[in-house]
Amino acid sequence: MNELEGRCDAVDGARLHFRSWGEGPRAVVLSDGILCEGFVWKYLRPALVAAGHRVVHWNYRGHGKSDPPKDRSTLTIPDMARDLWRVIDAVGVESAVLAGHSMGVQVCLEGYRLHPERTKGLVLLCGSWGRVTKTFHGTDALALALPAVRSFAARYPAVVREMVSRTPPKLALRVAWALGEVDPQRGREEDMTPYFEHLATIDPQVYLTLLDHAGKHSAEDLLHHIEAPTLVVAAGKDSFTPPRLARQMARTIQDAELLEVPDATHTLPIEQPQLVDDRVLKFLAEKVK
């Protein structure tokens, strides 16, 4: 498998890290959720490469091997979409399928808005078009609490960072299992631990800024105008982005396809990888030219 690694400039001049696998004629670019560094693509990425696709994965600023942002005011969803296309240009492909998980769905939608002519397809997993802090767990409680949380984190950054960095990944996973955020039967420890390990390295200020922008952003106005082939994937027990939003998104986007898995949570792509892999590969083979 041909693997390449590189870096390019983000919109604020920070350096973005990306990796590319495969040599197929069609590129599929993977955009993560907030706080993530690729763990959710563990099974889909090699399946795509094995099927003959070129796969690109990149890190948002302040995530993984990318630099911290130089200008936090440019951590908006449209700015992240501009970063996405900078990565695509750096890889050297003219067009791509944009695949996103969670907040990555918003990034992909804004990526389409920037370059519809270069977007060959959209694969939108466990996410929505925006305003995510107003729908978390089906309420707007997160949106109401976020200003106070951001204020506390700004006043006591060292305290907040210490709290986050010292939380044992295994303990965090057990809490996620207990709360039903992750399927305790299918959300395997070896698949989930990298997420919690990476979470401990994130600057809380970067996370809270991104979350604030994701909560204020909406691409709902764009949905009626999307003409690229689109696959929407939803999890019936997703407490982060309720599946009703995915159904509405699939109804609104022209000829969009919907896969809803009733017994899955927000980490569906690694909980039931064979189901997701097969459906995504079928969609790409049949709908994307």
pLDDT for residue 1: 60
Query: Does 171 have pLDDT greater than 70?
Result: no
150 DSSP assignment: H
Which DSSP string corresponds to 31-52? Answer: EPPTT-SSGGGTTHHHHHHHTT
pLDDT for residue 140: 86
Give the mean pLDDT of 156-161: 73
Instruction: Name the least confident of 14-18, 169-173, 216-220, 270-274.
Output: 169-173
Closest CA to 245 of 125, 113, 146, 141: 125
| pLDDT tens digits along 226-270 | 999 999 999 999 988 999 999 999 999 999 999 999 999 999 999
State which residues form the domain around 188: 3-287
CATH code for position 87: 3.40.50.1820
105 vs 111: CA distance, rounded Å: 10
Which positions ≥6 away from 145 have C-beta within 8 Å?
A: none
- Of 156 and 210, the one with more pLDDT: 210
| Region for 245 from its dihedrals, namely left if φ exceeds 0, alpha if ψ lies in -120 to 50, beta otherwise | alpha
pTM: 0.94
Q: How many residues does the chain have?
A: 289
Decide if 104 contacts 34 (C-beta within 8 A).
no
245 vs 259: CA distance, rounded Å: 13
Confidence of residue 47 (pLDDT cuts 50, 70, 90): very high
Output the CA–CA distances (angstroms, integers) from residue 49 to 7, 23, 211, 213, 275, in the order listed: 21, 8, 31, 33, 17
Output the CA–CA distances (angstroms, integers) from residue 42 to 3, 171, 190, 236, 272, in the order listed: 15, 22, 11, 21, 12
Question: How many domains in the chain?
Answer: 1
267 vs 154: CA distance, rounded Å: 30
